[in-house]
A and B are shown apart, each in its own frame.
Chain A
Amino acid sequence: MARPAHELSPNRREVAMGQKPIQVLIIDDDPDFLRSTGTILKSAGYEVIEASSGKEGLEKAKTVKPDLYIIDLVMETYGEGSRVVEALKSDEETRDKPRIMISSVDLQGPWESYKQQEQIGCDDVMQKPVSPAALLKCVERQLSQKRG
Chain B
Amino acid sequence: MVRDRARVLVIDDEEVVRDSCARILTGDGVVVEGAEDGLQGLKRFREFQPDLVLVDLKMPGKSGMEVLEELERADPDVIKIVITGYGSVSSAVDAMKRGAYDFVPKPFSPDEISLTVARGLEKRRLTSESNALRRGQERIRRNMISLVSHELSAPLSAAIQHLEVILAGMAGEISPESKELIGLCNGRLREMLALTRTWINLAVLDPIKMAERFEKVDLAEIARGSMERLRPLADRHGVDLKLVSPQPVSPIRGSQVPLGEVFHNLIGNGIKYNREGGWVQVRLFEQDAQVCVAVSDNGVGIEEVHLPRIFDEFYRADPRRSAPVKGSGLGLSIVKSLVEAHRGTIHVHSRFGEGTTFEIRFPRFSPSPGG
Verify A5–B258 contact, CB threshold 8 A.
no
CA distance A108 to B197 in the complex (A): 9
Of the 9-residue stretches A11-19, A35-43, A54-62, which lies at the interface with chain B? Answer: A35-43
Decide if A39 touches B158 in the complex (CB within 8 Å). Answer: no
Known contacts A6-B170, A110-B258, A128 near B201 by CB under 8 Å: no
In the complex, per-residue mask of A79-106: 1 if CB is within 8 Å of any chain B CB, else 0:
0000000000000000000000000111
- Could you tell me the distance in whole angstroms from the C-beta of B264 to the nearest C-beta in chain A? 9
Of B101-109, B149-157, B241-249, B353-361, the one touching chain A? B149-157
> In the complex, are the beta carbons of B165 and A106 less than 8 A apart?
no
Residue pair A32, B162 in contact (C-beta under 8 Å) = yes
Contact A39 B260 (CB under 8 A): no
Closest-by-CB residue of A relative to B209 is A111
Interfacial chain A residues near B204, Cβ < 8 Å: 111
What residues on B are CB-neighbors of A130 within 8 Å?
A: 161, 164
Are the CB atoms of A39 and B261 closer together than 8 Å?
A: no
The reply to whether B157 and A128 form a contact with Cβ atoms under 8 Å apart is yes
- CB closest chain-A residue, reference B155: A32
Q: Chain A nearest CB: distance from B294 CB in Å?
A: 22
Given contacts A6-B170, A113-B257, contact A39 B165 (CB under 8 A): yes
Shortest Cβ gap from A88 to chain B (Å): 23
Chain A 112-148 interface residues, beta-carbon cutoff 8 Å to B: 112-113, 128-133
Instruction: Verify A36–B162 contact, CB threshold 8 A.
Output: yes
Query: Smallest CB–CB gap between B238 and chain A, Å?
Result: 27
The interface residues of chain B lying within 8 Å CB-to-CB of A131 are 164, 168
Would B261 and A30 count as touching, CB distance under 8 A?
no
Please count the residue pairs between chain A and chain B whose beta carbons lie under 8 angstroms apart in the complex: 80
Question: Among the interface residues A36, A43, A128, which one has the most CB atoms of the partner chain B within 10 A?
Answer: A36
**Docked CA distance A30–B155 (Å):** 9
Contact with A along B205-229 (1 / 0, CB 8 A): 1100010010000000000000000
- Tell whether B325 is near chain A: CB-to-CB under 8 Å: no
Q: Would you call B153 and A106 a contact (CB within 8 A)?
A: yes
Instruction: Report A-chain residues with C-beta under 8 Å of the C-beta of B338.
Output: 110-111
Give the contact-size bracket for chain A.
20 to 34
Identify B161's interface contact among A5, A106, A111, A129, CB under 8 A.
A129
Contact residue among B154, B160, B193, B255 (Cβ-Cβ distance under 8 Å from A113): B255
Q: Given A128-B157, A132-B170, A36 and B205 touching (CB < 8 A)?
A: no
- Decide if B200 is an interface residue (CB 8 Å cutoff): yes
Chain B: minimal CB distance from A46 (Å):
12
B171 is an interface residue with CB less than 8 A from chain A: yes
Q: Is B367 an interface residue (CB 8 A)?
A: no
- B169: Cβ under 8 A from any A Cβ: yes
**How many angstroms between the C-alpha atoms of A33 and B168 in the bound complex?**
16
Tell me the bound Cα distance from A45 to B160 in angstroms. Answer: 23
Assembled-state Cα–Cα distance A128/B213 (Å): 27
List, in ascending order, chain B residues with CB within 8 A of A36's CB: 158, 161-162, 164-165
B158 contacts A30, C-beta separation under 8 Å: yes
Q: Which residues in A have their C-beta under 8 angstroms from that of B150?
A: 74, 104-105
Cβ contacts under 8 Å, B205 to chain A: 111
Cβ of B260 and Cβ of A110 under 8 Å apart? Answer: yes
**Contacts of B157 on A, CB cut-off 8 Å?**
33, 104, 128-129
Bound together, the chains give a CA A40 to CA B171 distance in angstroms of 9
Residues of A within 8 A of B153 (CB): 104, 106
Chain A positions within 8 Å of B200 at CB level: 106
Residue of B150, B200, B205 contacting most chain A CB atoms (<10 Å): B150
A130 to B168, CA, bound (A): 12
Residue of B nearest to A41 (CB): B170
User: Which 5 A-B pairs give the minimum distances between C-beta atoms?
Assistant: A32-B158, A129-B161, A129-B160, A128-B157, A132-B168
A–B Cβ pairs within 8 angstroms, 20 of them: A32-B159, A37-B161, A39-B165, A39-B170, A39-B171, A40-B170, A104-B154, A106-B149, A106-B197, A106-B201, A111-B257, A111-B258, A111-B338, A112-B201, A113-B255, A113-B257, A129-B161, A130-B161, A131-B164, A132-B164
B residues apposed to A, CB below 8 Å: 149-150, 153-154, 156-162, 164-165, 168-171, 193, 197, 200-201, 204-206, 210, 213, 255, 257-258, 260-261, 338
Given contacts A30-B154, A104-B154, A128-B161, 6 further A-B contacts (CB under 8 A): A32-B158, A32-B162, A39-B165, A110-B261, A111-B257, A113-B255
